[in-house]
Structure 1
């Protein structure tokens, strides 16, 4: 079901703000708004937990540097960014937020516009959060990711994309969504809803940028782990939700990016996933930089060697015939 973009954005941004930063006056930077939005699920399929309220919170007081987050997601959706001359490639982006919220601008809209300038059609995924009280909460982000890939493929003619050139990228906790999709793209985590669900949910390529991956307490991002599997998860549950322990020969080609000085999500998350992927002979390319910290996106890399990362990703997507 397609939703009127102007009505959707107006409604979402008019929601009550939750902090002083959110109450600050803010002007949308030119070119950041999506061109369209589509709900992931047919009307009535998703039934939000009682009392869950979706809201946009503005975390930046700088009117020229928007940093919004979407919390309490009740209506998972794809925001669509269309290039002037689509080249057939599609990229789905899952921003981070520690499974507490989903970042809007830094890991979503900004990279979307970078890619559309290069003729790629981009879909920013606002997925449900596992700690918000959903039934089978640990699997709702994966269900939304699977559905996103299937829905994008089903829209190939509408959006002018090639259904065999669909990539998926995730940042931070969105990287956990992505790497879960890497190894569980065909796991049955929801009941079929319409003809789109006949499509494959396996991306043609997958990128994880400073990703949360493992649920091993020794390296896990504590907040993401608690939200996803709980603080008292047993060894079997820990393993089931640790992608590095569930790699498979038929997983999509994988691209990894991490800064060695990341003090939020330990670089070992990417190191372990790379090692596990190499051990089974599946394709992987990894880039580890000395400095960059966490959550750098596009805008926090100035003056650092890590600033080259979008071009590295672009070259890899080209090598795998996505772009």
Structure 2
């Protein structure tokens, strides 16, 4: 018995050291210089995606830079570029409801928005019981070997890691959703349609798990790479200046909907002057054609990139609660 207790104690110390080592090894969330607004909680817990470093590093590794774009000291609007250590910032709820959401912020594939489509949504969701993982994914214009699929590599890996470590967060490994905004909406839709594609070599046991999300919510998303519908900046950074038709089709989620795609929640403002509403309409048509469940909300006004902060006072401001009500009908929330 004494020997058993000693073994248990040693095992506990080893586990403690392992977990501590894991915590220490993680890369801090993106941060810009300057004071943060008082009373606004910032994430301190992160998960690095790749245990041996991100695969396919370019000859000249990108240098991560976080830029503060807000002139209001009480409202942050950070954007991070040059991501070489992709990771997830974690928002843990006080009372987990057993469901997790992987958030893909936008940024036109030029950078990844931190606050408006990342942390603000993380706080909103975690206050309602969801465990949230904000994804800071690699950008295709930085020269990674995976090319246009590099961001999808990070999204697949992130979702698998959430499932693999679900017991640490008191979540059901099946109930992992994805939500994305603008170019992050493209990544969200890409993950929810190409979850079974092999876009990187397996790293560990986590990669034996499915990357299929329980449900998907692309919000004012970039979808089509077809000229006249595509967001020009996102398309060029993703596919280059003169992509082949095959490349356009491979990276247009509306052209890659499988029969077993998860349920979708689509939302767009019809006066969006950056990403035409046609993007969401094309995806909806493809989902309907495949018999995939889809709920669609179109608003007359809202523009682009409203997130939470720019939707206040407008009819589109109800969108998070529309998503929440829909998620409950799907057995997610």
Smaller-chain TM-score range?
over 0.9
Runs of 4+ in structure 1 over 2 Å off: 1-7, 25-32, 43-49
Structure 1: gaps (5+ residues): 18-24
| CA apart distance, 1:199 | 0.7
Say if 1:254 and 1:6 are closer, same or farther in 2 by CA, change over 3 A.
Answer: closer
Match runs of 1:52-63 below 5 Å: 52-63=62-73
Q: In structure 2, what is the Cα distance between the partners aligned to 1:193 and 1:46? A: 10
Is residue 120 from structure 1 mapped to residue 130 from structure 2 by the alignment? yes
Alpha-carbon displacement from aligned partner over 1:51-93 (angstroms, at most 9, x marks no partner) = 4100111000111110001100000001000001111010000
Q: In structure 1, what is the Cα distance between the partners aligned to 2:234 and 2:54? A: 26
Secondary structure, in 3 states, of the residue corresponding to 2:180?
A: strand
Count of paired positions: 312
Q: Is the 8 A contact 2:106 2:117 kept in 1?
A: yes
Q: Is the 8 A contact 1:129 1:140 kept in 2?
A: yes
- TM-score, normalisation: structure 1: 0.93
- TM-score, normalisation: structure 2: 0.90
| CA apart distance, 1:164 | 1.1
Is residue 242 from structure 1 mapped to residue 252 from structure 2 by the alignment? yes
Q: Is the 8 A contact 2:269 2:302 kept in 1?
A: yes
Q: In structure 1, what is the Cα distance between the partners aligned to 2:271 and 2:24? A: 42
Structure 2: gaps (5+ residues): 1-20
Larger of the two Rg values belongs to structure: 2
Say if 1:66 and 1:4 are closer, same or farther in 2 by CA, change over 3 A.
Answer: farther
| CA apart distance, 1:35 | 4.2
Q: Is the 8 A contact 2:77 2:115 kept in 1?
A: yes
Q: Match of 1:222? A: 232
Match runs of 1:295-314 below 5 Å: 295-314=305-324
- RMSD over aligned Cα atoms: 1.6
Say if 1:151 and 1:125 are closer, same or farther in 2 by CA, change over 3 A.
Answer: same
| CA apart distance, 1:7 | 7.4
Match runs of 1:9-88 below 5 Å: 9=29, 12-13=30-31, 25-46=34-55, 48-49=57-58, 50-88=60-98
